[in-house]
Chains A and B, each alone.
Chain A
Amino acid sequence: MSNETVQDYVVAHGRAKSFYERFERKDELQHQTHFCPGCGHGTVHKMLARVIDELGIQDRTILVGPVGCGVFTYYYFDVGNISAAHGRAPAVATAVKRSRPGSIVIGYQGDGDLSAIGSAEILHAANRGEHVSLIFINNAVYSMTGGQAAPTTLLGQKTTTTPFGRSAANEGYPMHVCELLATLDAPVYIERVGLGDNRQAMQASRAIRRAIENQVNGLGFSLIEVLAPCPTIWKKTPVEAQRWVRDEMEKVYPLGVYCDRTKARMEAGLTQPAVAPTLDQLPGILGVAEADLPEGNAAALVADKPVDLQVRVAGFGGQGVLLLGEVLAEAGLDAGLDVSWLPSYGPEMRSGTSNCHVRLSRKPIDSPLVAAPNLLVAMNEPSLRKFDRAVRDGGWVIYDGDEFPADCVREGLHTFAAPFTRIADELGNKRAANMVMLGSLLEIASVLPEASVAAALHRMVKNPRWMELDERAIARGRELYRASLKEMVSA
């Protein structure tokens, strides 16, 4: 071909600009995809890249890649890319779209990914009407893993896990995702297309464009299911595989539009995607804005001694076990420590057992679990017996009872027993027993400044009547422990 004969020609159909020039994959193969010859993924990738080019959205497109053969979207598409765990692309896409409402978020999933492992995610993303576009590649089989049956496998189709062909009695019927999602009220556009011949492929290209356009126009959820050939796993030539899409798959999965609310939504006015709060807004929402916080007491932290409190608080539900832990953690936070608070309770709201793990440390906390506490608060005997053996040597047990059970005493274990509930009752309400115990705990640990405790209490307890009682209860708890020390000295 000489220059003269070709210079009257212009590129009409060429490599999309949304593809990288070179793909960052295996050394010698950076000029081609990893897909097998005749793979449906390659064709759909090109359609998608072309739409991104034509709509001029490359700079604001974020592609959520799947698990499966389609996993390497980030090798090919020069757009924002995120890989989602198997089946979770709709959930990840939701998060991306809500945090960056101006972006165009496209989920790309196969049938094992979307219709099996991620069936919950897709259903709920569709039901919420998330403002994302999803491309669903259906090849009726788990291809990347070697051809196991998927929910979309056709009846009678042989796979490695249905060697005699899929039977309805054993593996159920092929799952019709488009039909299923079309029963929901939220989706804007759902269409099934195929790659079975030229006509089908043209329609597929148009449908993908429509799904992305809907998002660009600010409409909600769109999903395009593409019946795609997998010559390798189907053990067919690419041309035979293409025919199989048209002759066999299409019978089970009829092509067409299953839901189109584009016009109605346009007329109703655009619905804006739900937007996640920005980072600056979070403190206000959580009530920890600078203005709401008490003065930092970090400097007031008692002495410079190392702090590593590992506390387990245990009792019955309703005794205030969790609140005790929360106030302790909150006070630690106020004093500038690293803290963690982990509740652990049964399904009952009252009278079940309940406990929490609290850690306060000067160093970053690796795990919020407290398996071996150095401080145990046991609000009743069963809780004491459940956890006392776990307490470290040299650790403390604070027990609500007249006497510490003799058989729980062991060497190296410090104990402090007092009838906290009765004392709280005398103060005004037995439900303040947890705060009396907290008072003793604070006195024993003696690392947190009183101002931090007061600030924490102020934040956790809103009712002024309780606030006043709790303050008295904590003070009483401190007194109790100090009095016991004096007794020991005089004894």
Chain B
Amino acid sequence: MAEGKKPDRGQLRIDEAECKGCGLCIEACPAKVIAMGEGLNHYGYRTAVYAGAGCTGCGICFMICPEPGAITVYRLVSAAGAATTTDSAKGATACASN
């Protein structure tokens, strides 16, 4: 993310091991920031891949996705509520580790 640019409202994590590559999220995403990856995962599926920027955090891809945890959608916490819970930090760490 370039310095000084406004951060995205959302972030997206796609669990490569859980995704089966049905492509419904790609179709569903209003911002069109998900695409089909080129490589195959451990189970032989081409998986969906986040473009890395542009997510609005709307959550539609999550709702359409048939797998329980293949997609996790994060939302930007506003400056006022920035110091919310430790949960957010945890979530972010998990996200980062992937």
- Would you give the 0/1 interface string for A30-42, flagging 1 where the beta carbon is closer than 8 Å to chain B? 0111011111111
* A195 CA to B22 CA, complexed, in Å: 14
* A205 CA to B62 CA, complexed, in Å: 12
Q: Are A14 and B7 in contact (CB under 8 A)?
A: no
Complex interface: chain B residues within 8 A of A238 (CB) = 22-24
Question: Any chain A CB within 8 A of the CB of B31?
Answer: no
Complex interface: chain A residues within 8 A of B75 (CB) = 9-10, 12
Q: Are B67 and A1 in contact (CB under 8 A)?
A: no
Complex interface: chain B residues within 8 A of A33 (CB) = 66-68
- Would you give the 0/1 interface string for B7-26, flagging 1 where the beta carbon is closer than 8 Å to chain A? 10011000001101111100
Which residues of chain A from 330 to 371 have a CB within 8 Å of any chain B CB?
none
How many positions in chain A have a CB within 8 Å of any CB in the partner chain?
44
Question: Any chain B CB within 8 A of the CB of A47?
Answer: yes
A161 to chain B, nearest CB (A): 27
Complex interface: chain A residues within 8 A of B34 (CB) = none
B20 to chain A, nearest CB (A): 4
Complex interface: chain B residues within 8 A of A15 (CB) = 68-69, 72
* A29 CA to B44 CA, complexed, in Å: 13
Complex interface: chain A residues within 8 A of B1 (CB) = 5
- Would you give the 0/1 interface string for B61-74, flagging 1 where the beta carbon is closer than 8 Å to chain A? 01111111111111
Q: Are A9 and B69 in contact (CB under 8 A)?
A: no
Q: Are A13 and B72 in contact (CB under 8 A)?
A: yes
Instruction: Contacts A31-B17, A42-B67, A46-B66 given; indicate if A11 touches B72 (C-beta within 8 A).
Output: yes
Instruction: Contacts A12-B73, A13-B72 given; indicate if A43 touches B95 (C-beta within 8 A).
Output: no
Q: Are B59 and A7 in contact (CB under 8 A)?
A: no
Given contacts A3-B93, A37-B22, 6 further A-B contacts (CB under 8 A): A9-B91, A12-B75, A14-B73, A38-B22, A40-B66, A239-B27
Binding site for B on A (CB under 8 A): 1-3, 5-16, 19, 29, 31-33, 35-43, 45-47, 49, 76, 195, 198, 201-202, 205, 231, 237-239, 242
